[in-house]
């Protein structure tokens, strides 16, 4: 899937994520503070977190002092966000029809989500809700496959995955930048999760292509992940695994 996909597809995937919302909130990585600073600067802003999901990017935005409104097509995902941050205004909606007033935010950001957006209508909505001089930022975490066991895990997952978020992040960011007539700047940082093997398996279970499998297929697939972690020389017998991610951020400045 990529930025060409339509609104219905993103909403369908939103529903699939809703089925694993609690696991998503607990087992997906957050975003480093330096990524937020790169995207938004040092001063507090009114920020729309578009495709906010369970609020992993919202967590980092609030920690940096920003004021957030969170929008996502999945109500169960937003319930997880609301449970942690009841002060945040949330609304169910998509990037192509954002339930936010005109010129009401200083910035629009999306974490692990912009590759689901239909670029032309999403860009029109982003431009509508931004105040003059507003900022746009997209950020993705992708497993750091320079680590051997993570590379082997990635090869196993690639046999089932139909999208590659790091690559799609580049495509989506530049597609949206063209629609917004925006200059693009990039930044790279990192984040590491400290997980048990079973938590690694659980996190993979929150991926959309896994969440939408029928139960026998899903059980077989996750069983193969367990076997890899149990037998790989770098992970065999480990109590805790360090799962590293590369965080890539794209700052768009509309001309």
In a domain, 37, yes or no: yes
Residue 164 is predicted with a pLDDT of 52
| 91's tokens | 């609304």
- Residues 115, 248 contacting (CB under 8 angstroms): no
Confidence label for 206 from pLDDT (cuts 50, 70 and 90): confident
Residue 1 is predicted with a pLDDT of 37
Confidence label for 139 from pLDDT (cuts 50, 70 and 90): very high
Residue 209 is predicted with a pLDDT of 80
In a domain, 178, yes or no: yes
In a domain, 212, yes or no: no
Mean predicted confidence (pLDDT) in 68-97: 95
Least confident of 23-27, 80-84, 195-199: 23-27
Domain holding 85: CATH number?
3.40.50.150
Give the start-end residues of each E strand in the chain. 46-50, 67-72, 89-92, 105-111, 130-143, 182-195, 241-254
Any bridge partners for residue 252, and if so which? 136, 184
Least confident of 86-90, 98-102, 112-116, 191-195: 112-116
Percent of the chain residues topping a pLDDT of 90: 76
Work out how many domains the chain is built from and give that number: 1
pLDDT over 70 at 20, yes or no: no
Q: Which residue has the tokens 């790989």?
A: 232
Confidence label for 191 from pLDDT (cuts 50, 70 and 90): very high
Q: Which residue has the tokens 């938004």?
A: 40
Cβ contacts of 223 within 8 Å, gap of 6 or more: none
In a domain, 228, yes or no: no
Cβ contacts of 220 within 8 Å, gap of 6 or more: none
Confidence label for 10 from pLDDT (cuts 50, 70 and 90): very low
Confidence label for 219 from pLDDT (cuts 50, 70 and 90): very high
In a domain, 204, yes or no: no
In a domain, 221, yes or no: no
In a domain, 55, yes or no: yes
**Three-class DSSP category at 188:** strand
**Three-class DSSP category at 81:** helix
pLDDT over 90 at 222, yes or no: yes
- Residues 88, 62 contacting (CB under 8 angstroms): yes
Residue 17 is predicted with a pLDDT of 52
Residue 5 is predicted with a pLDDT of 43
Residue 236 is predicted with a pLDDT of 97
In a domain, 76, yes or no: yes
Listed residue (210, 225, 233) closest to 163, CA to CA: 210
Residue 4 is predicted with a pLDDT of 40
pLDDT over 90 at 16, yes or no: no
Distance CA 121, CA 98 (A): 10
Least confident of 118-122, 207-211, 216-220: 207-211
Cβ atoms within 10 Å of 137's Cβ, excluding its own: 24
Residue 248 is predicted with a pLDDT of 96
| pLDDT tens per residue across span 36-81 | 999 999 999 999 999 999 999 999 999 999 999 999 999 999 999 9
- Which residue segment(s) compose the domain that 13 sits in? 7-143+163-190+246-254
């Amino acid at each position: 899937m990529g930025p060409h996909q339509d609104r219905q597809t993103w909403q369908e995937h939103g529903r699939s994520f809703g089925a694993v919302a609690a696991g998503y909130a607990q087992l997906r990585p957050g975003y480093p503070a330096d990524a937020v600073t790169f995207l938004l600067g040092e001063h507090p802003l009114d920020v729309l977190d578009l495709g906010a999901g369970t609020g992993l990017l919202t967590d980092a935005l609030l920690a940096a002092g920003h004021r957030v409104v969170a929008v996502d097509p999945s109500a169960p995902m937003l319930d997880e966000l609301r449970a942690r941050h009841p002060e945040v205004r949330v609304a169910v909606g998509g990037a192509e029809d954002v339930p936010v007033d005109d010129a009401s935010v200083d910035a629009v950001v999306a974490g692990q989500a912009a590759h689901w957006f239909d670029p032309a209508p999403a860009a029109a909505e982003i431009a509508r809700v931004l105040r003059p001089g507003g900022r746009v930022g997209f950020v993705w975490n992708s497993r750091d496959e320079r680590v051997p066991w993570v590379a082997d895990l990635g090869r196993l997952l690639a046999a089932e995955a139909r999208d590659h978020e790091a690559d799609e992040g580049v495509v989506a960011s530049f597609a949206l930048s063209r629609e917004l007539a925006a200059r693009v700047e990039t930044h790279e940082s990192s984040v590491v999760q400290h997980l048990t093997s079973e938590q690694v398996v659980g996190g993979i279970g929150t991926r959309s292509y896994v969440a939408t499998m029928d139960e026998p297929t899903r059980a077989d697939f996750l069983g193969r992940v367990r076997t890899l972690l149990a037998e790989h020389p770098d992970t065999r017998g480990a109590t805790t695994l360090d799962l590293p991610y590369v965080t890539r951020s794209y700052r768009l400045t509309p001309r």
